Amino acid sequence: MDKPQIVTKQQLAQPPVEQTDGIARGQAFAHDRVWAGFSAFPGGAMTGWHHHGDYATYAYVTDGSMVLEYGDEVVHIHIGDFVYIPAHLVHRESVPEEGGAGVVVRVGGEGPTVYNVEGPDDTASNAD
């Protein structure tokens, strides 16, 4: 019988998921082509360039603010904002020194959820 599942904060502390430098991801659920969890960014953090393969990303900023870079674009995201990142879009995130950011994330697709790459024009598809 299907029933609701609860994942506690303690269970999210050490997730067995792909990671990117500068960010801590916590996995709540990964099934039926959906990954759901959170990302925590300490003050001054900057991720490496990466993309999410076949996964489209939907995120809600729960705390702080951040900058999203992709291609030649720079976008500022704040608490209460939703953000959509298309599949295969190479990007990186950063947060101000004096703050941090918390983000609830839901992605949908297949395969690894993170591919770390060398730079904004690199679309290599080898997952780390």
CB atoms < 10 A from the CB of 126, how many? 8
Structure tokens at 27: 């996995």
pLDDT tens digit sequence for 8-64 = 877 775 555 556 777 777 888 888 888 888 888 888 989 999 999 998 999 999 899
Domain map (residue ranges) of the chain: 18-114
Nearest to 37, CA basis, from 21, 57, 20? 57
Q: For the whole model, what pTM was predicted?
A: 0.79
**Mean pLDDT, rounded, of the chain:** 84
Q: Which 3 state secondary structure label does DSSP give 69?
A: strand
18-114 under CATH 3.40.50.2000, yes or no: no
Task: Tell me how far apart the 2 most distant CA atoms of the chain are, in Å.
Answer: 49
The residue that leads in pLDDT, 17 or 115, is 115
pLDDT for the residue numbered 19: 65
Question: 101 vs 96, 98, 111, CA distance in Å?
Answer: 9, 11, 27
